[in-house]
Chains A and B, each alone.
Chain A
């Protein structure tokens, strides 16, 4: 098809621009995930349009509304960014272990326990210590809790051979039961009648908004975490060792790499990000630990990480895109008389199509400069 035409056009192009060749090669390699992902998103939207046409609505109206609701105004952009913020951190909880070949799907557990730990540690300090001390303490408690929780999954994996996918899933349910125990029992604020919660944080102890925006600091924390993770994986020897172990465990062991420490360490770092997401949810959104912590951010994070192909930098745009789709749900429901689950169907469709398109990687010559030479 068009791919053939492109490849046949390439040799003369690269011959003319001999000194541009390294740049073209670099571009081609970088373009592959971008082009395939965008193509997949378009295909997913097309498929979803068919569903919308079948139920007698106009896809054009729908997409216009989705754009308006997600990114059409400063208000909706801020709404989308707010929804994206927790996803940045929970996606990292999936993406980092994935680089080592681990599929951890129980980030939800680290989120809820991180939130509970953050809320619990703040209790004795409220009023006696300034927010500048309490907030970092809360973050630390959340990260420590999340890191221990998912780190334990890594330990079970390495030292006991327990499958990490199943173990993390079971532990997520255990974590939710623990959270309910604490917020209904020992940590319950007697004043919270309808919705059991821990004692609310006073306003001055809340993590505020980023100056000039109606978006809390969670977004900035998430973006920084993504950048740190990217540097960790791509530019440190620790990350390099992890990538080797993820590619071939046997080779890593022969090289004397500490595979066990890598697995536990990466799982713990991943979990601490998810725990931090729980802390942000408590300190910036809920004001206390309650059942809303188990809002499914951990599970949506799986989606984000897989769509970003476990690349921490790619997580940022993917999370914002999903946040935007999520934010547009209410508008679609009101204006088009469609159920709010419409956005869930769209997310599911996109997810399936994008993962299906993984199969196209390496299929197109245009993205593989090694094959150009042969055609030249």
Chain B
């Protein structure tokens, strides 16, 4: 980082936060919809990786990365529908089914994705916002990917929709009390089915980002647990979409700390910095939890907070 010296660290953290957080934004927004309906889908890791594979494969075959994203959304929705359908049967544990669907999604993605490890897919575009500066580091840091922008807008839209729309109200009622929902003539299972499907399709967009933007390739190690972590982020964000967006940014920034420090020559305890986002999340969870009440904002029918 010659030229800007120590300022390279915050700049690298800023760029890293945006780059790392984008998949977390989509997966956690998707999961927030699902959890708001009173169900938890722990299988989004599988959905994410399958989405990454689908997006890459379709982008290779069609030449259009956006078509890849759409295809990923479709497969993500199918995964969500399977999860939602199975979970409506009595005595079926949604957490366990999530882990099973994760295994299934990962297996199927590696199974079908083998032929696509070699070919190169077109990448998703980015918006260069750094044209005003002539420092190359600033320019590259401000090269914002389109999905990040969409994710931010989506977070605001969801936050508004949860509060102000009929659909948002239906979702919240079902999430808070199955009985109240039934009294209103709503079928909780149907609402949760669709909430899980929408959640799955958003998680798959997070996967598409991984394979089509950063790191921008398809292989079996593409995800480093983004799908699993997003479930923690949603609880951390108290089921608030804007909170999800901010939590993802914070998480991404903490994750970028290690590489950023390494780039200016700090190598002591380099691997410990990889733990930073997890330590941060855990610390805030511990600080804000209480043994005597459930978390503020938690959907009443959600199994994980009972």
Interface string of A281-297 (1 = CB under 8 A from B): 00000000000000000
Find B271's partner among A156, A170, A171, A181 (CB 8 Å cutoff): A181
Which residues of chain A in 272-323 are interfacial with respect to chain B, using CB atoms and an 8 Å cutoff?
A: 299, 302-303, 306
For the A-B complex, the count of residue pairs with Cβ-Cβ distances under 8 Å equals 140
Kindly provide the distance from the CB of A338 to the nearest chain B CB, expressed in whole angstroms: 8
The answer to whether B95 has its CB under 8 Å from any CB of chain A is yes
Size category of the binding interface on chain A: 35 or more
Contact status A165-B104, CB under 8 Å: no
The answer to whether B99 has its CB under 8 Å from any CB of chain A is yes
The docked-state distance in angstroms from the alpha carbon of A102 to that of B231 is: 17
Contact status A348-B271, CB under 8 Å: no
What residue of chain B has the Cβ atom nearest to residue A347's Cβ? B103
The answer to whether B153 has its CB under 8 Å from any CB of chain A is no
Contact status A351-B104, CB under 8 Å: yes
Which residues of chain B in 201-259 are interfacial with respect to chain A, using CB atoms and an 8 Å cutoff?
A: 225, 228-229, 231-232, 235
Kindly provide the distance from the CB of A325 to the nearest chain B CB, expressed in whole angstroms: 11
The answer to whether B304 has its CB under 8 Å from any CB of chain A is yes
Chain B residues with CB below 8 A from A346, complex form: 107
Chain B residues with CB below 8 A from A240, complex form: none
The docked-state distance in angstroms from the alpha carbon of A351 to that of B96 is: 9
Chain B residues with CB below 8 A from A358, complex form: 91-93
The answer to whether B90 has its CB under 8 Å from any CB of chain A is yes
Contact status B92-A341, CB under 8 Å: no
Kindly provide the distance from the CB of A209 to the nearest chain B CB, expressed in whole angstroms: 30
Which residues of chain A in 326-376 are interfacial with respect to chain B, using CB atoms and an 8 Å cutoff?
A: 339, 341-349, 351-352, 355-356, 358-359, 361-362
A341 with B286, Cβ < 8 A, contacts A161-B291, A173-B225, A181-B272 known: no
What residue of chain B has the Cβ atom nearest to residue A344's Cβ? B107
The docked-state distance in angstroms from the alpha carbon of A159 to that of B286 is: 10
Query: Most A CB atoms within 10 A — which of B100, B271, B279, B292?
Result: B100
Contact status B271-A177, CB under 8 Å: yes
A167 with B107, Cβ < 8 A, contacts A160-B291, A352-B100, A359-B89 known: no
Chain A residues with CB below 8 A from B289, complex form: 160-163
The answer to whether B274 has its CB under 8 Å from any CB of chain A is yes
Contact status B292-A177, CB under 8 Å: no
Which residues of chain B in 160-202 are interfacial with respect to chain A, using CB atoms and an 8 Å cutoff?
A: none
Contact status B104-A174, CB under 8 Å: no
Interface string of B266-285 (1 = CB under 8 A from A): 00011110110011011001
- Pick 18 A–B contacts, CB within 8 A, sort by A: A160-B289, A161-B289, A161-B290, A161-B293, A162-B285, A162-B286, A167-B282, A174-B275, A184-B271, A341-B108, A344-B106, A345-B111, A347-B103, A348-B46, A348-B100, A348-B106, A356-B92, A358-B93
Which 6 pairs from chain A and chain B are nearest by CB?
Answer: A348-B104, A344-B107, A177-B275, A341-B110, A161-B291, A351-B100
